[in-house]
Chains A and B, each alone.
Chain A
Amino acid sequence: MTRTHLSYSEMMARRFAADHAVTRRRLLAQGAKLGGAFAAAGALGRWAAGDAAAQGVVLREIGLSLTEDPRILSQFQADTGITMEGNSQILGNQITFWLQNYQDYDVNQVNFSQNAPLLAQEAIQTLPVADIPAWNDQVIELYRVPGTPGYSERSGWPLAGTYTAESIEAETYDTFIGTPTWFGFDAFGYLEGQAQGDLTSYGAIFDPANAGRAALLNEPITSVMKVATFLEGTGQAEFEGALNNLTTADLATCFEFLNELKQAGQFRLFWSDFGQLVDLLVAGEIWVGDFWASACAAAVASGAPAVFVNDPAEGSNGWIQGADISAATEHYPEVTTFINWYLDSGVPGAILGVQGYYSPRPDRVEPILSEQSTTVEGISDWDYWYEGAVPEERPALSERINHIADWQAYPDEFEEYSRLWTAFTSA
């Protein structure tokens, strides 16, 4: 059966229309609520807290451009009367920016691999899970129950990255470090017709057949984790530490492997940001590497035959993005309203969903994505992005959860990661 992928312009037109449909439905629901017809508003009305005191409060947050999407922030304001001013940062700047400026901000939407140092430096505050009512039994089990598919026995993630060590110890899971708001699985990508070898394994990045055409992200945590995932997944090494928390000895093994490859000319370059990566793929400068799913999608939209490998043979590297609360916020109640809205409204989940990312509350995203078809003709966005309607392109979430090697985290030996990475890139 041949499927028709929508052209880029058609996709954008439909997504624009879909966003407006969402806004319209929500306005209707809100109108009904204001009219006193709470029941009629149904599920859509619950997020509209209607707290009079909160009206007019202005919150500030930093995050990636994906999270600071004006469609998300304006819908939040329309729903709650609270303003959230977003400040987009690139990943590499977030720790430093936050440590220097958290007194002036309320929320840090951040990759949870950065939580450990932020918490240790008291730049963020923990919060009772009970303060986020949307964090209930409807949250995907992965984030609530140890031992369920996707849980890493070795590292304790994703729970270890989400809840405080004390609440995990006590098995109460009642205190957040930060609240997960979206997540995804990192792996690798390639240009079809160019990259050679076994393209279901990270090995493609390190395959001599692709020498001089491979690339890695210029950042130690994620890149080293992929090397470790490959080496262990193919039985070439066995590590003492978890894949996201390697020991010094483990690191020596990984960098011996990397340094040899670099000397042999395997890597063309080390990329540093989303836009640069998309340009490189479109220009065909690099064929295989630890590319982000969203960059592959953007490259495809520009006509490059980029393919993102969802679930490599050795397993994917899960990551959590979520909302950390500033240790200095003066608007704690409004901040929790914001976080709750992020999960409960389904609006951010839907906007991020068609870009390939998941919400911990899929049930709130489903009503929106089921009603739109902006990706493949005749298939709803919910079926495509969450349910695996086209499994060879996009397996179901329930399936992908079974293929997580581990989760991106801040390693204990970060200084050593960093030192060896600098030596490696400058060699």
Chain B
Amino acid sequence: MAVTDTAQTLSPRHPVTLTPTSLDRRLRARRARNAWLLLAPALLVVLVAAAAPLAMVLWVSFWRVDGLVLARTIDTEAWASVLSDPTFRRLAWSTVQTVVIVLALVGVLGLAAGYFLARFVTNRKVQALLLMLAILPFWTSYLIRIITWQPLFGNSGVINFLLAKAGLPQMELFLFNQRAMVFAMTSLYVVFVIGPVFWALSRIDPEVIAASRSLGASAWTTFRTVELPLARGGLVVGLFFASIFLFGDYATGRLIGGGTNPMLSDAISQYAGSGQWPVAAALAVVLFGIAIVVLALFMRVYDLRTEL
């Protein structure tokens, strides 16, 4: 009501032309106009870069493959096959499974590493250096990071070489199966959590922690009841970013998973690559839906908007 109050104090000087309601309306209109003007560039980008392609994907999912030709119709054939075929249900389920497992691992490991950096490394320079080391692999290409997996865990890789030297049986745990894929994805995406968690933990006032400890809380209780709730924002932001990459990652599945446990993203790539765009598009819509549900769950745990 601040605007109206101001208008009322002004009104005696301009009793005819500036009634409280018209000033109110004008100010509101100007505000709204300015807001839209400020929003316009971002809205335009979102519209062109996100909304339009998504609408296109949705439209393509209603096309039909007519013999050899893509018919641009409105047809539910692709959706019928995606929804009725148990293969696609299995793919969707294994995608959800993989994403949940990897996010859980990434969350726990990222939290541990971030906590270590924030609480156990006191020297600022060493902190920065360690954080840099965690980020360093991201300066090389994704493919190179993935390909190094083989010389490490492969048949004739470092681990098996050492096992053989020690007279132990060789292992094939970490290549070409779902376990390997999950492990590789965890190592690829954990860095997204370490940074934000470290940052959030560092922002906690040391006196808050001191207060908790001086009131008799153990380190664990302090972590659980004071630090973790305060660092929740960092954790959720980290998982948020990790999941964005995770949903679209099909290369790890192919190169480390050996193509034996494909996720929805892999099927989308296969179907799109062989010209079966309607099914690929329908699968993309399903994947998008799953992603939205996962992100909405994050928001329930912690409303990112309070961080902005």
Residues of A whose CB lies within 8 Å of any CB of B are 92-93, 95-96, 99, 116-117, 119-121, 218, 220, 267-272, 276, 279-280, 283-285, 410, 414-415, 418-419, 422-423, 425-427
Q: Which of B94, B155, B274, B275 contacts A426 (CB 8 A)?
A: B94
Q: Are B150 and A279 in contact (CB under 8 A)?
A: yes
**Residue pair A283, B154 in contact (C-beta under 8 Å):** yes
Given A120-B69, A268-B176, A423-B87; A283-B151 close (CB under 8 Å): yes
A339 to chain B, nearest CB (A): 24
B275 (CB) vs chain A CBs: closest residue:
A95
Interface contacts beyond A93-B273, A276-B255: sample of 9 additional A-B pairs, CB < 8 Å, sorted by A: A96-B275, A119-B68, A121-B70, A218-B254, A269-B176, A271-B258, A418-B276, A422-B87, A426-B90
9-residue interface stretch from B44-52, B203-211, B260-268: B260-268
Residue among B85, B94, B259 making CB contact with A269, cutoff 8 Å? B259
In the complex, the answer to whether B150 meets A419 with C-beta atoms within 8 Å is: no
Cα A220 to Cα B271 with chains together (Å): 11
Once A93-B273, A415-B65, A419-B85 are accepted as A-B contacts, the answer to whether A285 and B70 lie under 8 Å apart by CB is no
Select from chain A the residue with minimum beta-carbon distance to B90. Answer: A426
Compute how far the CA of A419 lies from the CA of B67 in the bound complex, rounded to whole angstroms: 15
Q: Identify 26 residue pairs between A and B in the complex whose beta-carbon atoms are under 8 Å apart, listed by A's number.
A: A99-B275, A116-B68, A117-B68, A119-B68, A120-B69, A121-B68, A121-B69, A268-B176, A268-B258, A269-B176, A269-B259, A279-B150, A283-B155, A283-B156, A284-B156, A285-B154, A414-B274, A415-B65, A418-B270, A418-B271, A419-B81, A419-B85, A423-B86, A423-B87, A425-B262, A427-B90
Minimum CB–CB distance from B76 to chain A (whole Å) comes to 16
Residues of B close to A422: CB separation below 8 A: 87, 91, 262, 267, 270-271
> Whose C-beta in chain B lies nearest to the C-beta of A121?
B69
Do residues A425 and B259 form an inter-chain contact, with CB atoms below 8 A? yes
Most chain B beta-carbon neighbours within 10 Å: one of A96, A423, A427: A96
Is B164 in the interface zone, CB < 8 Å from A? no
Query: Which residue of chain B lies nearest to A426 when distances are taken between CB atoms in the complex?
Result: B262
Number of A-B contacts (CB under 8 A): 92
**Chain A residues near B276 (CB, 8 Å)?**
415, 418
Q: How far is the CA of A378 from the CA of B258 in the complex (A)?
A: 42
User: How many whole Å from B160's CB to the nearest CB in chain A?
Assistant: 11
**Do A426 and B151 touch (CB < 8 A)?**
no
Q: Which residues in B have their C-beta under 8 angstroms from that of A419? A: 81, 85, 87
Residue picked from A121, A410, A419, A427, most chain B C-beta under 10 Å: A419
Chain B positions 173 through 189: 1 when the CB is less than 8 Å from some CB of chain A, otherwise 0: 00110000000000000
**B132 close to chain A: CB less than 8 A:** no
B94, B255, B272 pick with most chain A CB within 10 angstroms: B255
CB closest chain-B residue, reference A92 = B273
The answer to whether B260 and A285 touch across the interface, beta carbons within 8 angstroms, is no
- Check B274 against A418 for contact (C-beta < 8 Å): yes
Closest A residue, CB atoms, query B87: A423
Q: Give the contact-size bracket for chain B.
A: 35 or more
**Nearest chain-B residue to A90 (Cβ)?**
B273
CA distance A270 to B147 in the complex (A): 16
In the assembled complex, the CB of B97 is this many whole angstroms from the nearest CB of chain A, namely 12
Residues on the B chain within 8 Å of A285, using CB: 150, 154-155, 175-176
- B119-158 interface with A by 8 A CB criterion: 147, 150-151, 154-157
For B154, the chain A residues whose CB sits under 8 A away are 283, 285
B147 partner residues in chain A, CB cutoff 8 A = 279
Q: How far is the CA of A279 from the CA of B175 in the complex (A)?
A: 14
Chain A min CB distance to B55 (Å): 17
CB distance from B212 to the nearest CB of A (A): 49
CB contact between B91 and one of A268, A415, A426 (< 8 Å): that residue:
A426
Q: Which residues of A contact B274 (CB under 8 A)?
A: 92, 95, 220, 414, 418
Question: Please, how many angstroms separate the alpha-carbon atoms of A280 and B156 in the complex?
Answer: 11
A-contact bits for B274-286, CB 8 A (1 contact / 0 none): 1111000000000
Indicate whether A284 sits within 8 Å of B155 (C-beta atoms), given known contacts A92-B273, A95-B275, A121-B68. Answer: yes
Q: Which residues of A contact B68 (CB under 8 A)?
A: 116-117, 119-121, 410
CA distance A226 to B272 in the complex (A): 23
Closest to B256 in A: A269
Q: Cα distance A419–B277 when bound, in Å?
A: 13
Cα of A364 to Cα of B166 in the assembled complex, Å: 59
A120→B69 CA distance, assembly (Å): 6
In the A-B complex, the 6 residue pairs with the smallest Cβ-Cβ separation, listed nearest first, are A269-B258, A120-B68, A270-B259, A423-B87, A92-B273, A269-B176
Q: Give the residues in chain B near A427, CB-CB below 8 Å.
A: 90
Residue of B nearest to A280 (CB): B150
A2 → chain B, closest Cβ, in Å?
29
Residues in A with CB closer than 8 Å to B90 are: 426-427
1/0 per position for B95-133, CB-CB distance to A under 8 A? 000000000000000000000000000000000000000
CB distance from B216 to the nearest CB of A (A): 54
Kindly identify, within residues 222 to 273 of chain B, every residue whose CB is under 8 Å from any CB belonging to chain A. Answer: 254-255, 258-262, 267, 269-273
B275 & A218 in contact (Cβ 8 Å cutoff): no
Closest-by-CB residue of B relative to A215 is B258
Alpha-carbon gap, A121 to B91, bound state (A): 30
Bound: A124/B279 CA distance, A: 24
> What residues of B have a CB within 8 angstroms of the CB of A414 in the complex?
274
* A426 touching B150, Cβ below 8 Å: no
Q: Closest residue of chain B to A270, judged by CB?
A: B259
Assess the A426–B270 pair: CB atoms within 8 A: no
Alpha-carbon separation in the docked complex, A426 to B87 (Å): 7
Q: Which residue of B is nearest A99, CB measured?
A: B275
Residue of B nearest to A122 (CB): B69
With the chains together, A425 CA to B271 CA distance in Å? 14
Distance to closest chain A CB from B137 (angstroms):
19
Q: In the bound complex, how far is the Cα of B259 from the Cα of A272, in angstroms?
A: 8
* B258 A426 Cβ-Cβ under 8 A: no
Residues in A with CB closer than 8 Å to B259 are: 218, 269-272, 425
A323 CB to nearest chain B CB (Å): 20
Which residues of chain A are near B67, meaning CB under 8 Å? 120
